[in-house]
Amino acid sequence: MSGDGTTINGTFTQGSPLPLVLVKATPGTEWAIPDAPPPPKVMAANANPSFEVASIKPSVPESRGMAITVGRGGANTFNTLNTPVSELMKFAFGIHVKQVVGGPSWLDSDKFDIVAKPDTAGMPNATQLRSMVQKLLAERFGLVFHREKKELSAYVITVD
């Protein structure tokens, strides 16, 4: 550090060494911090939205990872990356993967990238979003199902 405390000289050593010089900001060199963007507008609570437009494409086979995002960048779009239909079903119906029985083998193996835009303005709440994905699964993937009760094994944690 310089004697007057206005600069710090050093070397950045992550990778190839590079000179590193830090200079204390002054009122003449500082920049204004921008205002935070306004929060997204919320969809009306009584709205029953669907996806107005949906692009569904098979994922690139070598793709790694998986993602489901909503409202990225302030938009109200629904996006998935490298996502199997079984994960969309878990998301839409709030179920465990072992609760899906009798589906075709491709439910877990085929993965899709989806970009979908709701027909209603604003950011959907969780219930509205699940409903929209349920409709998308029925309309675009031909999902038909029924509910039945079934016993599943479970572990119980107890204090010894």
What's the pLDDT tens digit per position in 77-101? 999 999 999 999 999 999 887 788 8
Per the CB < 8 A criterion, the answer to whether 132 and 118 are in contact is: yes
Q: What is the pLDDT of residue 88?
A: 94
The domain segmentation of the chain, as residue ranges, is 51-141
Q: What is the pLDDT of residue 50?
A: 95
Write out pLDDT tens, residues 115-151.
999 999 989 999 999 999 999 999 999 998 888 887 8
Q: What is the pLDDT of residue 73?
A: 67
DSSP 90-153: HHHHT--GGG--S--THHHH-EEEEEEEESSSSB--HHHHHHHHHHHHHHHH------------
Tokens matching residue 36 = 């935070």
Q: What is the pLDDT of residue 98?
A: 78
Q: What is the pLDDT of residue 93?
A: 94
Say what the pTM is.
0.71
Write out pLDDT tens, residues 17-74.
999 999 999 888 888 899 988 888 899 999 999 999 999 999 998 888 999 998 876 6
Q: What is the pLDDT of residue 54?
A: 96
Give the residue from 50, 70, 71, 56 showing the smallest Cα distance to 119.
50
Q: What is the pLDDT of residue 74?
A: 67
